[in-house]
Amino acid sequence: MSSPQVIITGASKGIGLATAQVLLEVYDAKVVSISRSTTPELEALKAKFGDKLVVVLGDVSDPEVSLEALKVMPSPTGLVLNAAICLFGRVEKCDPSDWRKTFELNVFSLFHTLVPAIPALRENKGRVVFVSSGSAVGKTTGMASYNASKAAMNAVCRTFANEEPDIASFAVHPGMVETEMQLNFLKSAPAHLSPAEADWVASVHSSGQLVKPEDSGYVLASLVVKGSSDLSGQFFSWNSPEAQPYMKK
């Protein structure tokens, strides 16, 4: 069987980096990563795996960046759409520019990578993993734009799955993952959350309940390589019953 060929957005750190590492180490995949900048960790992965990992630098909100990635890998077997941003702001103080930034990256950039890859994904009977969030069905204070963007992502996933039966598509909640984004959330969130929400977030961090990137990343990598079409269009958590066959043993 030929090696999986996967494009990952937001792959320089956190969940995206962990997913890339699992793909390379466990599934002998070829990976193209898209990120705005590189990191020592991504460079180390590149040094270890050489030509099996190609790093494309650029903002995935720019359609040309995804087209560059597809020139490098014109026949992907899978996509992991992970790049995202979270900007805080209560609804009563809605900042339209923040909403535009959020939707530009979290929603519209999905199409920049997904749409030009559709012919190859159809031919390869490929898979697409939409890295979603519990926020897609959540109501956390001050996170309306992020909540709405992830709900929109889920809608794209389930509709795309219906339109493209030969491409298996999954929207996955990776949990509260121990990443730089999550640490920034802990610092910034209390100013926007209700006291009860802020206390809950602090307790998750202090009690060691955060998910390790390599744990949820393993599930994302497994799904983009061998996810069942029976799950196509569904939204589920990285450790839900649906995900059990794809978790690290």
Q: Could you give the residue numbers annotated as active site? A: 132, 146, 150
φ, ψ for residue 131, nearest 5 deg: -80, 100
First to last CA, the chain: 23
Distance CA 13, CA 63 (A): 22
Distance CA 83, CA 237 (A): 18
Q: Residue 187: which region, alpha, beta or left (left: phi > 0; alpha: psi -120 to 50)?
A: alpha
Instruction: Please give the full DSSP string across 73-129, using - where no structure is assigned.
Output: SSS-SEEEE-------B-GGG--HHHHHHHHIIIIIHHHHHHHHHHHHHHHHT-EEE
Beta partners for residue 30, in sequence order: 5
DSSP letter assigned to residue 36? S
SS3 231: helix
Distance CA 20, CA 31 (A): 7
